[in-house]
Amino acid sequence: MLRNLKLKLQTRILLSVSLVTILMMGAVVWFDSYSLQKSVEETYMSQLDGMTTAINGRYEESHNPKDVQQIFDYIQFKNPKVLQLTLYGKDEITASTDRTKIKKPTPMHIQSTLASLKKTRLTHLPADNDGLNKDLLMSPLKEDGMTMGAIELVLDTSESAALVQNRIRIIILMSSSITILLLVVLYFIIRGRLIRPLMKLRNAALSVKQGAAYKDISLNASQEINIVASAFNEMVHDLESRYLELQLAMKQLVESEKMVALGNLVAGVSHEINTPIGIGVTAASFMEEKSKQFQTLYRENRMKKSDLEEYLNTVRETTGMIQANLHRASELIRSFKQVAVDRSVDTKRRFNMKEYIKDVLISLQPNLKKTKHHVTVRGNEGIEVLSDPGAISQMITNLIMNSLIHAYGPDDEGHISIDVIQDDQELIIQYSDDGKGMPEEVVEQIFHPFFTTNRGGGGTGLGMHIVYNLVTQSLGGTIRCESKVGTGTTFYIQIPLNEG
């Protein structure tokens, strides 16, 4: 969960700096208070050492505890911070500012520490009800180098403790102010030199994405970001020039594709037309030959009745052949003319799409009547388009004729549906039959000129090529074919509602 928590760069930097500063502040406060405390303690210990030396001297001289008691009382009188002074002998307490303790046996825990007490020791006493901070110092009392007892001093250290506390407070206050100042300065530096320039870069990238005209970005940012910005500028210029190159290459490619398509078309036209014209020419020369022979027989008066009959038969057959082939050639030429969609003539008008398709189907009744197929037109009655009705009619005719010829056998009962669907500013005509369908390689070539699987049956392979040109050029749309062997074929035709 925490790992997923993505913080802004700025927040992250500020948080890290705060954390480091707080840690550093803690360390400074701890070190400072520790060293102050230590130096205070050392002062106390050296004070007690001084006292002990004085008491030691006096005691060694007189061996009289009363002298020590006098010194104790004097010290307490002079120094109000001294709460209690006690002299522990090996067995009993010999002097103390607390009179009730005198002559009492030395407590066991002190007796046991006497042997190991070589120099002054300091212990912080736990706080009790009087609210004072107290330290307990214990220093060995020596005679001829031997520890004879110990002097115990209880000191009121409230004043020095307050001093340390005060010092800590001041340090915390100062370092907090410095931290806040640092963070504010850092915030503005990060914003000005890092975040703002990065935002500018991002906006520039967005405007490039949206295709707006690009203006070089110049940033007053940190050196690294300035380097990124100039690399970004270079990249955009590079992209722009590459885009132009690509556009040029694409144009050239389209042009050369067009030339190739035209070349193919011309080759296809000459190939297709060659056959009927060739047959016509052969038949005509054959008839010329026969006529010559017939003329010779006539001139030489050798002509019999059977010769006349044979000649007449030949004339009938040959002219029939010539006529059929010329007809085929003229049919082909008519189809070729349709391939080149005439875009100079403005044939657009506003019409109701569903009604118009129904009218086209009525005109196809002579062909449909001979079959058992059912044709259904579905869709919203009110869809109107501004488009080229001639192109729609030609397209529907070619699609229906293809279904009749290629999708169904002579006795099949097929279902053909035409759906008219409006989608925003687009019109989708979905044409489906439930016939034989096509294998993938046929679907791939269906819009190519002269591609047909029915050459023997008189197909030219121009029907779907014409449909393709009508949809993409006259109607300004797109067409796509989906088909599977055994399940039927669907064409998706998408055209604009108003600009066809």
Ligand X SMILES: Nc1ncnc2c1ncn2[C@@H]1O[C@H](COP(=O)(O)OP(=O)(O)OP(=O)(O)O)[C@@H](O)[C@H]1O
Find out whether 387 and 475 touch, Cβ atoms under 8 Å: yes
Q: Report the residue number, 219 or 467, with the smaller CB distance to Mg ion.
A: 467
Find out whether 81 and 159 touch, Cβ atoms under 8 Å: yes
462 binds, among ligand X, Mg ion, none (CB under 5 to 8 A by kind): ligand X
At 43, list the tokens.
Answer: 């002062």
Q: How big is the chain, counted in residues?
A: 500
> Using alpha carbons only, what angle is made at residue 44 by residues 41 and 46, rounded to the nearest 5 degrees?
110
Please state, in angstroms and rounded to a whole number, the distance separating the CA atoms of residues 350 and 497. Answer: 10
Q: Report the residue number, 60 or 331, with the smaller CB distance to Mg ion.
A: 331
Q: Which residue stretch of 18-26, 176-184, 301-309, 428-436 sits at the interface with ligand X (rule: CB under 6 A)?
A: 428-436
User: With binding defined as CB under 5 A, does residue 52 bind Mg ion?
Assistant: no
**Sheet bearing 93-96, strands edge to edge:** 93-96, 82-88, 146-156, 134-143, 121-125
Residue selected from 454, 478, 487, 498 as contacting ligand X according to rule CB under 6 A: 454
Query: Which among 43, 40, 34 has a CA at the least distance from the CA of 171?
Result: 34
Shortest Cβ 404–Mg ion spacing (Å): 9
User: What string marks each residue from 442 to 481 as x (binds Mg ion by CB under 5 A) or -?
Assistant: ---------------------x------------------
Q: Report the residue number, 56 or 452, with the smaller CB distance to Mg ion.
A: 452
User: With binding defined as CB under 6 A, does residue 197 bind ligand X?
Assistant: no
Shortest Cβ 298–Mg ion spacing (Å): 49
Q: Report the residue number, 82 or 446, with the smaller CB distance to ligand X.
A: 446
At 304, list the tokens.
Answer: 């019999």
Q: Report the residue number, 463 or 488, with the smaller CB distance to Mg ion.
A: 463
Shortest Cβ 487–ligand X spacing (Å): 11
277 binds, among ligand X, Mg ion, none (CB under 5 to 8 A by kind): none
The phi, psi pair for 437, rounded to 5°, reads 75, -175
Please state, in angstroms and rounded to a whole number, the distance separating the CA atoms of residues 162 and 81. Answer: 14
Q: Report the residue number, 135 or 272, with the smaller CB distance to ligand X.
A: 272
Taking CB under 6 A as the criterion, which residues in 70-109 touch ligand X?
Answer: none
Residue 416 forms beta bridges with which residues?
Answer: 375, 433
489 binds, among ligand X, Mg ion, none (CB under 5 to 8 A by kind): ligand X
Shortest Cβ 414–ligand X spacing (Å): 10
The phi, psi pair for 222, rounded to 5°, reads -65, 155
Residue selected from 190, 348, 406, 434 as contacting ligand X according to rule CB under 6 A: 406
Taking CB under 6 A as the criterion, which residues in 39-58 touch ligand X?
Answer: none
Shortest Cβ 450–ligand X spacing (Å): 8
Please state, in angstroms and rounded to a whole number, the distance separating the CA atoms of residues 398 and 429. Answer: 14
Residue selected from 85, 451, 470, 500 as contacting ligand X according to rule CB under 6 A: 451
User: With binding defined as CB under 6 A, does residue 434 bind ligand X?
Assistant: no
117 binds, among ligand X, Mg ion, none (CB under 5 to 8 A by kind): none
Please state, in angstroms and rounded to a whole number, the distance separating the CA atoms of residues 451 and 176. Answer: 86
Q: Report the residue number, 390 or 459, with the smaller CB distance to Mg ion.
A: 459
Q: 10 Å Cβ neighbour count for 164? A: 17
Question: How many positions of this chain bind ligand X (CB under 6 A)?
Answer: 23
Please state, in angstroms and rounded to a whole number, the distance separating the CA atoms of residues 361 and 183. Answer: 81
Residue selected from 52, 120, 460, 474 as contacting ligand X according to rule CB under 6 A: 460
Q: Report the residue number, 96 or 402, with the smaller CB distance to Mg ion.
A: 402
Question: How many positions of this chain bind Mg ion (CB under 5 A)?
Answer: 2
Residue selected from 149, 461, 477, 500 as contacting ligand X according to rule CB under 6 A: 461
Shortest Cβ 444–ligand X spacing (Å): 11
User: With binding defined as CB under 5 A, does residue 402 bind Mg ion?
Assistant: yes
Taking CB under 6 A as the criterion, which residues in 470-489 touch ligand X?
Answer: 489
96 binds, among Mg ion, ligand X, none (CB under 5 to 8 A by kind): none
Shortest Cβ 480–ligand X spacing (Å): 14
Q: Report the residue number, 215 or 480, with the smaller CB distance to ligand X.
A: 480
Please give the single-letter amino acid code of residue 178: I
Please state, in angstroms and rounded to a whole number, the distance separating the CA atoms of residues 413 and 434. Answer: 10
User: With binding defined as CB under 5 A, does residue 397 bind Mg ion?
Assistant: no
CA distances from 216 to 156, 207, 208, 226, 229 (A): 75, 12, 11, 12, 9
At 474, list the tokens.
Answer: 């006259």
Residue selected from 152, 156, 272, 433 as contacting ligand X according to rule CB under 6 A: 433
Q: Which residue stretch of 202-210, 229-237, 282-290, 457-465 sits at the interface with ligand X (rule: CB under 6 A)?
A: 457-465
Using Cβ positions, the residue closest to Mg ion within the complex turns out to be 463
The phi, psi pair for 417, rounded to 5°, reads -125, 145
Q: Which residue stretch of 25-33, 193-201, 352-360, 463-471 sits at the interface with ligand X (rule: CB under 6 A)?
A: 463-471
Binding site for ligand X (CB under 6 A): 402-403, 405-407, 433, 435-436, 438, 442, 446, 451-454, 459-465, 489
Binding site for Mg ion (CB under 5 A): 402, 463
